[in-house]
Amino acid sequence: MLSKNVETFIACDCDYEQAKTVLFGAPFDSTTSFRPGTRFGSSAMRGESFGIETYSPYQDKDMEDIAVMDSGDIELCIGDTEKVLAQIEERTRIILQDGKRPMMIGGEHLVTLGAFRAVAEKYPDVHIIHFDAHADLRDDYLGVKLSHACVLHRCWDIIGDGRIHQFGIRSGERAEFQFARQHTDIHPFSVEDVASTVKTLVGKPVYLTLDLDVLDPSIFPGTGTPEAGGISFDELRRAVTCVCSCLNIVGCDVNELSPHYDMSGVSTAVACKIVREILLAME
C-alpha cells in the first residue's frame, strides 16, 4: 500500500511522540518593507536539504542519530498580521507544552515575535541571542508597530533591558544604535564576542533568533536587504555551534531566506547547512 507524499527537512522524519525538537515553517513576509519573498524560505529549504549530507564532519554527528520532526508550514492568514502572530504563538505553545523544543523557519523576522511570546510565557527569565545585519530596534516603521524592522524592540517590550544579546549588527538608523547602547547588549559588525557572552549565560534559558542576513551577501545573496560587510559562513557556523552546544536553547528560529533572489540555490543550501549544524549542536 502506498502512502501519501511526505516531505520533511532532511532526516527530520521521526514521529511526534519521539521528537525532542519540532520544526515548523512560518511562511509570512507581509511587513517586509523592501523586497518580499521570504514566505518561500521554509518550503525551499525542505527541497534543497537533500543536497546536503546528514553527517557533519565539523561536529562528527549525524542527523540519523537525533530525534527531530518537521511538522510543516502553518497555513497563515496572510493580510492580518495579528492573526498570523497568534497562529505562530499557538503552534509554538503546543510544542512547548508537549515538552519539546520549537524550531521555526521563517519567513521574515517578525515571525520571531509570535514564537517568542509563547517561549517567554513559559520561560519568563529567557535571554535572546540575536544574529543579524540589522538592529531591528525601531519603535515603529512608517507608523506600523508590528514590522520586521521593530521585532527586537517588541521582544524588548516583553523582557526588558540587558537580556537581548545582538551580534553582527551593521545597519540601522542612528536612533536604533542609540537605543541598543542603552537597552541591549550589542556587539556590532562581528561575532567575535560570542564565546564570552555564552559563558555568562550557561544554565539560563536562551532563545536563539538567527536572521541569516548576518552572513555576508557573498555567501548569502538570497535575502531582501543584503548588507555587505557581513560575517563568513565559518564564523557563523562556529558561533551557532558554540551557542547551541553550550547553552540551554529553549527555542530558536532561522529566518529571512528569500530563495528566489538567489537562483543558484547557494543561499538555500547555506541555510540548510546552518540548520543542520544547529540541530546537531543542540542535541
Residue 53 binds a copy of itself (CB under 8 A)? yes
Round to whole Å and give the CA distance between 156 and 162: 9
* Contacts to a copy of itself from residues 10-29, by CB under 8 A: 13, 15-17, 22, 24, 29
Among 122, 158, 204, 225, binds a copy of itself (CB under 8 A): 225
Q: 61-62 and 55-56: which strand pairing?
A: antiparallel
- Name residues contacting a copy of itself, limited to 64-83 (CB under 8 A): 69-73, 75-81, 83
Q: Which stretch binds a copy of itself (CB under 8 A): 30-38, 122-130, 193-201, 245-253?
A: 30-38
Nearest to 268 by CA among 39, 108, 48: 48
Q: Give the one residue of 10, 11, 21, 31 binding a copy of itself; rule: CB under 8 A.
A: 31
263 touching a copy of itself, by CB under 8 A: yes
CA 11: distance to chain centroid? Answer: 19
Residue identified by cell 521555526 is 104
3-state secondary structure of 129: strand
- The three cell numbers of residue 78 are 496572510
Supply the minimum distance, in Å, between the C-beta of residue 269 and a copy of itself: 5
Q: Look at phi and psi of residue 79 and say left if phi exceeds 0, alpha if psi is from -120 to 50, else beta.
A: left
In the complex, the smallest distance separating the C-beta of residue 54 from a copy of itself, rounded to whole angstroms, is 8
Site string for a copy of itself, 101-130 (x = CB under 8 A): ------------------------------
Q: Which of 103, 208, 209 has its CA nearest to residue 148?
A: 209
Decide: is 34 part of the binding site for a copy of itself (CB under 8 A): yes
Q: Which stretch binds a copy of itself (CB under 8 A): 43-51, 111-119, 121-129, 247-255?
A: 43-51
> Containing H/E element for 23?
strand 21-26
Candidates 49, 147, 166, 255; binder of a copy of itself (CB under 8 A) is: 147
